[in-house]
Amino acid sequence: MSDKIDFNVIRPIDEARYLTADNASRYRLIMRYFYQNYERLRYWLTK
């Protein structure tokens, strides 16, 4: 095994960058709104 750390293991996760942004509370609110609408649509499309 190599003693080097793989870059993919330690790289930042771009998809979660909004959690530490200056306006994180705004981003969370927006993401919650879209997720709730997604959930409504999914239930609406079922039989």
**Which tokens is 30 given?**
């927006």
Strand, helix or coil at 26?
helix
Q: How many domains does the chain have?
A: 1
Residue 40, by phi and psi: left (phi above 0), alpha (psi -120 to 50) or beta?
A: alpha
Domain, as residue range, for 32: 7-45
Higher pLDDT, 6 or 28: 28
For the segment 23-46, the average pLDDT, to the nearest whole number, is 80
In a domain, 2, yes or no: no
Asked if pLDDT for residue 43 goes beyond 60, the answer is yes
In a domain, 1, yes or no: no
What's the CA dihedral at 39, 41, 42, 47 to 10 degrees? 140
Determine the pLDDT at residue 30. Answer: 86
Mean pLDDT of the chain: 76
In a domain, 38, yes or no: yes
Higher pLDDT, 4 or 38: 38
